Amino acid sequence: MTFVPFELERWQSAWETRVRVNLSESGVHPLSIEELLALSGGDARALARLPLGYSQSNGTDELRVAISALYAGAAQDQVLVTVGSAEANFVACWALIEPGDRVVIQVPTYMQTWGLAQNFGARVATFALHAERNWEPDPEEIRRAIAPGTKLVVVTNPNNPTGRILSREGRALIVECARAAGAWILADEVYQGAERNGQTTPSFWGSYARVLVSNGLSKAYGLPGLRLGWIVGPGDMIERLWRRHDYTVIGPTPMSDFLGREALRVREKILARTRGILNQNYPVMNAWLRRFGGLFEWRDPEAGAICFVRYRHTSDAVDLVERIRARHSILLVPGEHFGLPHHLRLGFGNERPELERALEELEGPFREMMKD
């Protein structure tokens, strides 16, 4: 079986720490430990005294109680703490997918589960978010994709890379079709809380018995360096996932667990910071895109620090972003990493002065493109 590499993560991991400006990220510029503890009123001395032993492998009781409180009716034994939401998605796919299974994935998407499903031997079907429908899926495509015999349906809501939030009707139809097929739903909700309008996206949790929800502190919370995520689901399934977790990273670090508890204690303050950054920065991105007349086509993102842009030119996006990286030391993401050529994902979660300087510098290469 041919291994499917994760092109987006390889591109980012190769360059994101080596460029002057990183516009490939989908979250806001991160909090420091000092800033987090200032928000929470936490004791830095308690962190400094923390023994560097193993932490509870599935997350401390206190942390899992705090996470379960975010999901109506969930108990702490329905929560598994993971090393980022990426590990949550990985152990879910590992537990559920067997060779030959039909797995349905919403696209475009963060391509982790798309690649994992194939690497675990699944037959992958998709239903698309359509730009002409403001990145809403076609109901008939959903019905055709989630056919009888489907084992797993994967959605990212709010969506990466489009920033789109599914409509209530779209979400209900996905649940209805999954229930009819007896399929599991894996809902990656890591951008929940990063909505520009301040209204939290409804979770898939509680809509159906076979739902797993993954989330974490990387995107909406601005704490990617903690590498702290979680997955919520039925207790017996969480036990199955924990067994896989024993084979991957064993458990989170005690520092991540400690700081994760601090973050969840002041969740609303952190999310208010995130939404403030998004609402301050998106007008900068929007105004910059408008400078180019008809070169770019985009829909305003509803959540996340990302704008997914189609450009009207024959240039290959992978070549384009590589030229920009090499000449300007600014990192963008090509649409090919989401299965859509002639698109770019532009991050706008940086500190505003840095974002403004980077966009000013990028004006040159895109003006040159318009001359071709």
- Domains contained in the chain, CATH given: 7-32+269-371 (3.90.1150.10), 33-266 (3.40.640.10)
Residues 207, 210, 216, CA angle at the centre, nearest 5°? 80
Amino acid at 20: R
**What is the pLDDT, as a whole number, of residue 372?**
72
Q: Closest Cα to residue 372, out of 269, 295, 309, 278? A: 295
CA–CA dist 343, 285 (Å, integer): 16
Q: Closest Cα to residue 223, out of 30, 12, 27? A: 30
Q: What is the mean pLDDT of each run of 10 residues along the chain (372 residues)?
A: 93 96 98 98 96 97 98 98 98 98 98 98 98 98 98 98 98 98 98 97 98 98 98 98 97 97 98 98 98 96 98 94 97 97 98 98 92 76
Which run of H or of E encompasses 333?
strand 333-334
CA–CA dist 67, 261 (Å, integer): 9
Indicate the SS3 state at residue 174. Answer: helix
**What is the pLDDT, as a whole number, of residue 371?**
81
Strand order in the sheet with 306-311: 296-298, 306-311, 343-347, 333-334
Burial 152-172 (b: 16+ CB within 10 A, else e): bbbbbbbbbbbbbbbeeebbe
CA–CA dist 26, 215 (Å, integer): 14
Peptide bond into 158 cis (omega under 30): yes
Indicate the SS3 state at residue 325. Answer: helix
Q: Is the pTM of this model over 0.85?
A: yes
